[in-house]
Chains A and B, each alone.
Chain A
Amino acid sequence: MLSPLILISVVLNGLLTGAVYALVALGLTLIYGVLHIINFAHGALLSAALFAAFFAYQKLGLDPYVAAFLLAPAFFAFGYALQRFIIGPASHGDDRNMLLITLGLAVFIENALLYAFHADTRTIDLAYGFKSIDFGFTFLAVPRVISFAAVFFVALALWLIMALTDTGKAIRAVAKEKLGAELAGIDVAHIYAMTFGLGTACVAVAACLLIPTYYANPRAGNAFVLVAFTVVVLGGMGSVPGALIGGLVIGVVESLAGFYFGESLGQVGIFLIFIVVLLLRPRGLFGASA
């Protein structure tokens, strides 16, 4: 019989992983909520951000947690430009085209990274990288605890932006009623790009939180984003609290499934949840209606 303490530590570790899933999912759900498309380039952008965080440390000696304050605005600008100058004009206002463009971007970015940096896996060594906190019955890695806290900070910041700023109001208006917002004088192309920028900034922060314990590699982001799709579907497309709770739930499920059935089947578990939720309740468990 397994000690319940082991189970608790498995669950706690799941929650820590889940927080990062939640952050990646937050970016996805934000974009879906406003643009009504799934951003298939999200994973490639995460890989790119992981490389950026890696090189910020390697070449400039920037601690990832400091780099986050530089990379978030940089990726915001990058995301803004992508939507404004590539995705928007190229999609001719058709959802299917927009999907394809984000897929094209994903393929392009991922393979540009592969071309430039090869398939090598790169890690950084930080003094605190392997430090952990002793809770008596379990150890939790310091960087993962920090990232857990940071995710909630980012979520709060996003919520404040959405609730208090004019841009946030405009984003919510466009999400609710695009035509009405346009008639009220809101520049929809600009708001789309702002939203895409915010979603991309989330990815940059997630990369900075991940890099101390994870690695940079051209496909590193994909693993997270397939999970993030699941989180977003589970939490309800476009729902921010849904993304947070969904992320934590998936983190715990993966941790438990991995513990009982081994790594690769744990992944299958996530996909099965994903497919079942999609088929039975595509609005998600926390059902923010479309």
Chain B
Amino acid sequence: MKALLLIAIAVAVFAAVPLVVHSNVVLNFLVVTLMIALAGQGWNILGGYGGQYSFGHAAFFGTGAYVTAILQVEYGVNAWIGFAAGIVAGAAVGAIIGGLAFRAGLRSSYFALVTLAFAEVLRILASVAPITGAGVGLLVKLDLRAQSFQFQSRAIFYYVILALVAVSLVIAQLLERSRFGTWLIAVRENEDAAMALGVDAFAVKLGAMVLSAAVTAAAGCFYVQYFLFIDSGIAYGTWISIEALLTPIIGGVGTVFGALVGALVVKSLGEGAKLVTGDVPGLDLMIYGAVLIVVIRFAPRGLVGAFTDARERLARRFAAPRPPVREAVRG
């Protein structure tokens, strides 16, 4: 209950921002940050709780984005239905890639490689196929009405993405509490041991992959509605694969708030660097790479992990000695 309250407080704080800040620049920054947090939370479900590090989450982001765009542009389908279809399509791609990779027993380096390869294949195919607009990309027609999932005011977009992020936070929280989540964490900690205890590792990993893909695909669907444009380099580019894994790792892998905290930190650093030096290509990603290394070196459980560690250390110092609860649960 306490955790859900924490989520409610965090969401309430975010929800209050447009009431105070009216700057479009700030709102735009927050919308993009939340979108990356959503994509990152998708990665976190599979990578953080399941220990399967995907280097190709662009496959899901891009599929969600393209399905949303293609259904509207080519088939005149309503945007909301397109949005839902995009999520379903992303989950389906997750099921296919996950089914193949986990059936083949790919782990660690191999899993990272095969996910990367699938994303690249999709990128190349999307850059030549006519239905994706090939090299030109797809433009969604401007139609600023709620039934087209387009809004005049950025604040509404902001509330939409905030709602999606809130759902993803609740999903992670339920995962931590559920039997399925416990199985998933068991697989992460020691797959063979988990299987010996009767956990169907294949089914658990596949389930996590589908859920993970659906959440990241939702970020892709949102991207299309927000920017009304998609091409193969954006949809299936390595940038989104990297940002999706970067945010939870920096924020804290396998924690409810990791991806959100990570996205805020990463995007602030990126924007901060741009303010200092102007918009020089490469600088923001250069900083992301460096931050990734520094965080793994000095805070391998991310900022949230470092924070909880520090708090426990303080609590231990000031309060009466008590058994270290978290370690007991983990061990």
Q: Is B280 an interface residue (CB 8 A)?
A: yes
| Chief secondary structure at chain B's binding surface | helix
Find out whether the CB atom of B110 lies under 8 angstroms from the CB atom of A278: yes
Binds A, one of B18-26, B191-199, B218-226, B290-298: B290-298
Q: Is B125 an interface residue (CB 8 A)?
A: yes
Q: Is A233 an interface residue (CB 8 A)?
A: yes
Given the known A-B contacts A112-B282, A278-B106, are A265 and B128 also in contact in the complex, defined by CB atoms under 8 Å? yes
Interface centre among A233, A274, A280 (most CB of B within 10 A): A274
Q: Cα distance A265–B289 when bound, in Å?
A: 31
Chain B nearest Cβ from A107, distance in angstroms? 3
Q: Is B249 an interface residue (CB 8 A)?
A: yes
Q: Cα distance A272–B124 when bound, in Å?
A: 12
Chain B nearest Cβ from A175, distance in angstroms? 15
A-side contacts of B106, CB under 8 Å: 278-279, 282
Given the known A-B contacts A89-B297, A90-B296, are A271 and B124 also in contact in the complex, defined by CB atoms under 8 Å? yes
Q: Is B300 an interface residue (CB 8 A)?
A: yes
Find out whether the CB atom of A105 lies under 8 angstroms from the CB atom of B121: no
A-side contacts of B285, CB under 8 Å: 107, 110-111, 114
Chain A nearest Cβ from B185, distance in angstroms? 15
Picked from A95, A104, A267, the residue with its CB within 8 Å of the CB of B292 is A104
- Contact code string B116-132 (vs A, CB < 8 Å = 1, else 0): 01101100110110000
- Contact code string A258-275 (vs B, CB < 8 Å = 1, else 0): 000000110110011011
- Contact code string A178-196 (vs B, CB < 8 Å = 1, else 0): 0000000000000000000
Given the known A-B contacts A90-B297, A91-B296, A103-B55, are A267 and B289 also in contact in the complex, defined by CB atoms under 8 Å? no
Find out whether the CB atom of A86 lies under 8 angstroms from the CB atom of B293: yes
Q: How many residues of A contact B (CB 8 A)?
A: 48
B-side contacts of A112, CB under 8 Å: 282, 286
Chain B nearest Cβ from A205, distance in angstroms? 24
Picked from B104, B125, B128, B282, the residue with its CB within 8 Å of the CB of A280 is B104
Find out whether the CB atom of A278 lies under 8 angstroms from the CB atom of B55: no
Q: Cα distance A253–B297 when bound, in Å?
A: 41
Interface centre among A106, A268, A271 (most CB of B within 10 A): A271
Interface centre among A108, A110, A226 (most CB of B within 10 A): A108
Find out whether the CB atom of A229 lies under 8 angstroms from the CB atom of B108: no
A-side contacts of B127, CB under 8 Å: 264
Q: Cα distance A105–B292 when bound, in Å?
A: 9
Interface centre among B249, B282, B300 (most CB of A within 10 A): B282
B-side contacts of A109, CB under 8 Å: 289
Given the known A-B contacts A108-B286, A111-B289, are A97 and B296 also in contact in the complex, defined by CB atoms under 8 Å? yes
Given the known A-B contacts A92-B300, A95-B109, A96-B108, are A115 and B286 also in contact in the complex, defined by CB atoms under 8 Å? yes
Find out whether the CB atom of A226 lies under 8 angstroms from the CB atom of B120: yes
Q: Is A131 an interface residue (CB 8 A)?
A: no
Picked from B53, B110, B283, B296, the residue with its CB within 8 Å of the CB of A282 is B110
Q: Is B84 an interface residue (CB 8 A)?
A: no
| Chief secondary structure at chain A's binding surface | helix
Q: Cα distance A264–B127 when bound, in Å?
A: 9
Please give me the residue from chain A that is nearest to B55 by CB atom.
A103
CB contacts under 8 Å to B, within A58-89, are 86, 89
Given the known A-B contacts A218-B282, A271-B120, are A105 and B289 also in contact in the complex, defined by CB atoms under 8 Å? yes
Q: Is B281 an interface residue (CB 8 A)?
A: yes
Q: Cα distance A272–B100 when bound, in Å?
A: 13
Picked from B108, B288, B293, the residue with its CB within 8 Å of the CB of A101 is B293
B-side contacts of A86, CB under 8 Å: 293
CB contacts under 8 Å to A, within B78-137, are 100-101, 103-106, 108-110, 112-114, 117-118, 120-121, 124-125, 127-128
Q: Cα distance A38–B115 when bound, in Å?
A: 14
Find out whether the CB atom of B289 lies under 8 angstroms from the CB atom of A104: yes
Q: Is B207 an interface residue (CB 8 A)?
A: no
B-side contacts of A265, CB under 8 Å: 128
B-side contacts of A271, CB under 8 Å: 117, 120-121, 124
Find out whether the CB atom of B281 lies under 8 angstroms from the CB atom of A101: no
Picked from B113, B117, B284, B296, the residue with its CB within 8 Å of the CB of A100 is B296
Find out whether the CB atom of A99 lies under 8 angstroms from the CB atom of B282: no
Given the known A-B contacts A37-B109, A271-B124, A275-B114, are A100 and B281 also in contact in the complex, defined by CB atoms under 8 Å? no
- Contact code string B236-257 (vs A, CB < 8 Å = 1, else 0): 0000001001000100000000
A-side contacts of B42, CB under 8 Å: none
Q: Is A119 an interface residue (CB 8 A)?
A: yes
Chain A nearest Cβ from B278, distance in angstroms? 12
B-side contacts of A21, CB under 8 Å: none
Given the known A-B contacts A38-B113, A95-B109, are A108 and B121 also in contact in the complex, defined by CB atoms under 8 Å? no
A-side contacts of B280, CB under 8 Å: 115
A-side contacts of B112, CB under 8 Å: 38, 40, 99
Find out whether the CB atom of B124 lies under 8 angstroms from the CB atom of A96: no
* Residues of A in contact with B (beta carbons under 8 Å apart): 32, 36-38, 40, 86, 89-92, 94-97, 99-101, 103-115, 118-119, 218, 226, 229, 233, 264-265, 267-268, 271-272, 274-275, 278-280, 282
26 contacts between A and B (CB under 8 A): A36-B109, A38-B113, A91-B296, A92-B300, A96-B108, A99-B53, A99-B109, A101-B292, A101-B293, A101-B296, A103-B242, A104-B293, A105-B293, A107-B286, A107-B288, A111-B283, A119-B281, A226-B120, A264-B124, A267-B124, A272-B121, A274-B117, A278-B110, A279-B100, A279-B106, A282-B106
